[in-house]
Amino acid sequence: MVPPCRSPHHVALFRVGTVPSPSSAHRGLVVAPAVAQDEDEHMEFGFVVPWGDAADIAGMAVLAEQHGWDGLFVWEGIYGVDAWVSLTAAAIGTSTLRLGTLLTPVSRRKPWELAGQVATLDRLSHGRITLSVGLGAPDTGFANFGEQTDRRTRAELLDEGLAIMCRLWTGRPATFDGTHYQLTPSDFPAIRHVVQQPHPPVWCVGALDSTTSMQRALRWNGLLPQVVDNGIARQATLEELTAAMPSIRAAIGDRPFDIIVEGSMQEHSPAAWADTGATWWIESLWDAMHGPDAVAASVDRLREGPPLLA
């Protein structure tokens, strides 16, 4: 695994524990019971847009900021409405709202182009951008468009891509010699620096039942916890995350670190997730994605405001 450049986050080894699940399919080393959340920890609330044009997303961002949401996120599909154009429109109309992708499959992107997009938007938004990354979901059209589908290769491209982006975000000439990418220094004018130092926050998918995946995620700034069931990735359940929290806390130490979960407050309790250590709740309406009223449903939900913790 390629280590992130300029990253001080060299984590202790994450030990895969017994991850409870309805199928009891995940075996490993037993972990201790979850520890209590620190009193000064709190939960922030974001909304992920299921569908909408850039103008729709810009309007939703203004609504989100007006109604007390902390963040607005968009998904980065293989083809369609461009996530970064949409986030740019959202940034121009807001001043405090955190903005980002949920998520960006780095294996599909040229790292230098993605690094430039993130850095440009970080400066435009005055430091409000978060980059969420993972391997992506191949069943969303990867093969149709000739993208890489092999899981191991996508993981290698993710690691190398993040390492390259970190080097470029320093604003200095970058050198990189990897399996998939090679860079030599260039005197082409670069973005001077990013606002958020040493780089914009990177949230990374981590499979709780994979030491390698968790080691990658915990080196960055936030964890999107997943579990793989019969080859299909899904978000970890509350029970699974609770069981893994002692190992997560031991690995990250006392540095700031986000744990991000998503769902609908009509079906789940954000307070229960906060109690186990989650720091971000992302409200999602994925069922509305293919319906005719996806934008209207999103607008209605944003106007209700974020969930209230009991």
Q: With 0.75 as the threshold, say if the pTM is over it.
A: yes
Question: On the CB side of 115, how many CA atoms lie within 13 Å of its CA?
Answer: 23
The domains found in the chain, sorted by start residue, are 44-304 (3.20.20.30)
Which range, 11-20, 115-124, 144-153, 279-288, is most confident? Answer: 115-124
Give the per-residue pLDDT at 308.
85
Residue with the bigger pLDDT between 107 and 4: it is: 107
**Average pLDDT, integer, range 233-257:** 96
Quickly state the pLDDT bin for 310 (edges 50, 70, 90).
low
Please tell me the number of Cα atoms within 13 Å of 186 on its side-chain side.
Answer: 11
Spatial distance between the Cα atoms of 208 and 210, rounded to a whole number of angstroms: 6
Q: What are 127's two structure tokens?
A: 């430091």
How far CA 43 is from CA of 97, 217, 261, 276, 280, in Å, comes to 15, 20, 11, 11, 5
Average pLDDT of the segment spanning 146-163: 86
Of 269, 300, 298, nearest in space to 43 by CA: 269
| Predicted local distance difference test score (pLDDT) of residue 293 | 86
Q: Are 258 and 279 in contact (CB under 8 A)?
A: yes
Residue 290 CA from chain centroid, whole number:
23
Per residue in 87-118, pLDDT (tens digit) is 999 999 999 999 999 999 999 999 999 999 99
